[in-house]
Structure 1
Amino acid sequence: MRRARVETTHEDASAVAAALRPDNTPSMTTDVADDVVRTVVERETAGGLGSTLDDYVVNLTVAETVVQTARGHNHNHE
């Protein structure tokens, strides 16, 4: 089994994690501690691990962008 852990820091880590969870596969777990999103991926092969991590990074980028956009939108309408 191959395993990778990805930890990223965000202003609203809970919102980023919530945006990521629907795209997680059964081989992934995501949790939040303070401002850190921590995701662990386990796959049988290095190739599978690489593919899953590639998808995760794309999803993470989108999640962070959506959360930041939503925060900006909310601040503009307060």
Structure 2
Amino acid sequence: MSRRATIRTDHDDAALVARALSPDNTDEMSTTVERDDAAATADGDDERAGTVVTRIDRETTGGLQATVDDYVVNLEVAIDVASQARTVQHAEPTDTGPVSERGSDSTHDTTQ
């Protein structure tokens, strides 16, 4: 008999949180993102908002508990990563122009 848990958490950038979690997922886990696009549009919410849904199947209750405990810790880290990524993205300019706009200091005339 298999033991199962489903963990659902809402996030402003659900796909980013799910991507941050994915390296820690085991074969017994699956993580998806669910969006209610109609509600998000009607409420004026960010189109990235959604729900991260993780399903865990384990053979033993102890194994399920250990996996859920690990997942919750990883989720906290993923939320921090997503929050920091959003802060950094907004702090950086979106267009810095081509690299060639500056003169190069490494150009030397070797034909003396």
Provide TM-score, normalisation by structure 1: 0.96
- Tell me whether 1:12 sits opposite 2:27 in the alignment: no
Separation in structure 2 between the aligned mates of residue 18 and residue 76 of structure 1, nearest angstrom: 22
Separation in structure 1 between the aligned mates of residue 56 and residue 64 of structure 2, nearest angstrom: 7
DSSP-derived class of the 2:26 partner: coil
Structure with greater strand percent:
1
**Displacement, 1:76?**
1.6
Structure with greater helix percent:
1
Separation in structure 2 between the aligned mates of residue 75 and residue 47 of structure 1, nearest angstrom: 42
Separation in structure 2 between the aligned mates of residue 7 and residue 60 of structure 1, nearest angstrom: 11
Match of 1:3 in 2: 4
What do residues 5-55 of structure 1 show as CA deviations (whole Å, max 9, x unaligned)? 000000000010011111100000000011000000000111000000000
DSSP-derived class of the 2:6 partner: strand
Give the aligned length.
Answer: 78
Separation in structure 1 between the aligned mates of residue 81 and residue 33 of structure 2, nearest angstrom: 18
Match of 2:71 in 1: 56
Provide TM-score, normalisation by structure 2: 0.68
Kindly report which structure 2 residues correspond to 1:60-75, keeping only aligned pairs within 5 A, or say none.
60-75=75-90
Root-mean-square deviation over aligned CA pairs: 0.7
Question: Unpaired runs of 5+ in structure 1?
Answer: none
Match of 1:23 in 2: 24
Seq. identity, %: 51
